Amino acid sequence: MFPFEYYLPTKVIFGEGTIERLGEISSSFGKKAMLVTYDEEFVKSVGFYDKAIKSLKAENIEVISFFGVKSNPAVKHIREGIEIAKAEKPDVLIALGGGSVIDTVKAMALGVFSDGDIWDIAIGKVEATEAMPIVAVVTIPATSSEMNLVSVISNDEIKRKEGFGSPLMFPKVSILDPELTYSIPVLQTAISAADVVSHLMEGYINHNDPWAPMQDRFAQGMIKNVMECMDRLLKDPKDAQARATIMWVSTFAWNGFYVSGLGAFDSPIHMVGHSFSAFYDVPHGSAMSVSIPAVMKFHLQDRIEKYSVFAKEVFGIEGEVGEKTAKAGIDAIVDWFKKIGVPTSFKEANMPENELDAMADDVLVTAKNWGIETYDKKMVLSILKLCL
């Protein structure tokens, strides 16, 4: 175990019907809230927007609604939200949605108190020193954004997706109401499940600690939990136990808990997958289901033992530790992605194959920003070709 510090100040309120407490929680910050969410017609059709407004109105909270968040949050839209917040001066920002909405609100929370552009904050040119309080209401569990300090936003003009972190961006309170997820289509749930698995895989297959039984078994067990939940949801999309379980697994997949003690590790799954979303606006989970098998295939020879254990522990594959078992583990996760209906290749994700060179350059920019020095352009191109 390597030394670490772990800080997680977000209060979580979990359970069916907990969205009814949104007004009570928000009122502790003041009587004016800015609620940020997806397309207006969509959120009103599925019902969770009305539930949120009802709870806020019951506490006599004035609500400014800001609609239009996409699956990959656009910096242009975030700038619009910041200007509205600066003019309206709400006491609290409420994120009603999944990771894209929460990430949008996190960026807005910093931008309200900055004279600089939010993109400059994201790329580290401007330092944020203050942020508005955030309350998150999760409707699509996938990213752990409700319980971490990271925001990921996209700049469509330059085809860049940037992840950045600050303790100022921890939500003050996150409401996890599984009932809000019952209306999510199975395909969207599957994309989110792939996203959750990508977070669990990232630290698990890429760390270099020779003996990390607590972290490895946590990741293995949580991946199995996601898969079992998807088995149930494919049969019954409103399975209450499966919806609740996958929501809680999602929250702990990437909030810093299981990777604590592993030391520094590369994040090639996200390093590569971020470029897919930046170039082609692919949903994050779909980008991850394409990048995971490719990264695993690229590193097969130097991670045979790790992949063999993964195959045996997660998929119950029998056999000796060796290349055959390791390959079977890769094949098994590809088969699982296909089973739940998410892409595993450029073709399946409807991504063109003619920009690999430019994409490789973009991946290397991300690698540099994240302090990853392990990969050169030839290696990245090899991974991208394994995605085809």
pLDDT digits (tens, 9 = 90+) for 246-257: 999 999 999 999
244-273: average pLDDT? 97
Read off the pLDDT band of 172 (50, 70, 90): very high
3-state secondary structure the chain: CCCCCCCCCCEEEECCCHHHHHHHHHHCCCCEEEEECCCHHHHHHHCHHHHHHHHHHHCCCEEEEECCCCCCCEHHHHHHHHHHHHHHCCCEEEEEECHHHHHHHHHHHHHCCCCCCHHHHHCCCCCCCCCCCEEEEECCCCCCHHHCCEEEEEECCCCEEEEEECHHHCCCEEEECHHHHCCCCHHHHHHHHHHHHHHHHHHHHHCCCCCCHHHHHHHHHHHHHHHHHHHHHHHCCCCHHHHHHHHHHHHHHCCCCCCCCCCCCCCHHHHHHHHHHHHHCCCHHHHHHHHHHHHHHHCHHHCHHHHHHHHHHHHCCCCCCCHHHHHHHHHHHHHHHHHHCCCCCCCCCCCCCCCHHHHHHHHHHHHHHCCCCCCCHHHHHHHHHHCC
Please give the average per-residue pLDDT across 202-208, as a whole number. 96
Q: What is the mean pLDDT of the chain?
A: 97
Over 90: is that where the pLDDT of 182 sits?
yes
What's the CATH number for 11-180?
Answer: 3.40.50.1970
State the average pLDDT over residues 221-230: 98
Where in the chain is CATH 3.40.50.1970?
A: 11-180
pLDDT more than 90, % of the chain: 99
Residues of the chain with CATH 1.20.1090.10: 184-386
pLDDT, one tens digit per residue, over 123-166 is 999 999 999 999 999 999 999 999 999 999 999 999 999 999 99
- Looking at domain 184-386, its CATH superfamily turns out to be Dehydroquinate synthase-like - alpha domain (1.20.1090.10)
pLDDT interval class at 296 (50, 70, 90): very high
pLDDT band at 211 (very low <50, low <70, confident <90, very high): very high
Instruction: Look at residue 201 in the predicted model and tell me its pLDDT.
Output: 98
Tell me what pLDDT residue 183 has: 87
